[in-house]
Amino acid sequence: MSSQLGRKIKNVKVSIDDESRAMLKDLSGKQGLILYFYPRDNTPGCSTEALDFQSQLARFRKAGYAVVGVSADSVKSHQRFIQKKQLEFTLISDTDLQLCNAFAVYGEKKFMGKTHMGIHRRTFILDPSLKVIKEYLQVRVKDHVQTVLADLGLQGAV
């Protein structure tokens, strides 16, 4: 697990849930981008995390931050996930793992005694120039979004 803190991320073109491609920098809000990586659409933990970000989306947006989720699921899978969970933020389909590898979130995982390759649940806050200003490398879904709000000084804001 390597730190990305202080690193400027390359402005790459990504596939997003509306079937278009966009430059990563263009997805940022005025103050920055909250980029969270998750293993798979429509699984319990990933659904909870997405709904937690959704529940605080107005607060993040008012403060100038965009929230964007990233997984290796297809655009079609993202569209179903967005519709089912009524998400109002962008999901990046990183099927080629370009972004996952850039952030070092893809690697060996253990689950129920078995080892496999997959995306580690991690969150990064980037400034508008795509410099990593905060990272969460050991994300636990419960209270994660509240921790991000607190770290950005947004606990009391509405």
E-strand ranges in 87-131 read 90-93, 106-111, 114-119, 122-126
For residue 92, what are the β-bridge partners?
Answer: 16, 70
100 is catalytic: no
Q: To which residue do tokens 């798979």 refer?
A: 40
CA angle 118, 120, 124 (to 5 degrees): 140
- Provide the token pair at 105: 């979130």
Which one of 24, 46, 66, 100 is the catalytic residue? 46
The catalytic residue positions are 46
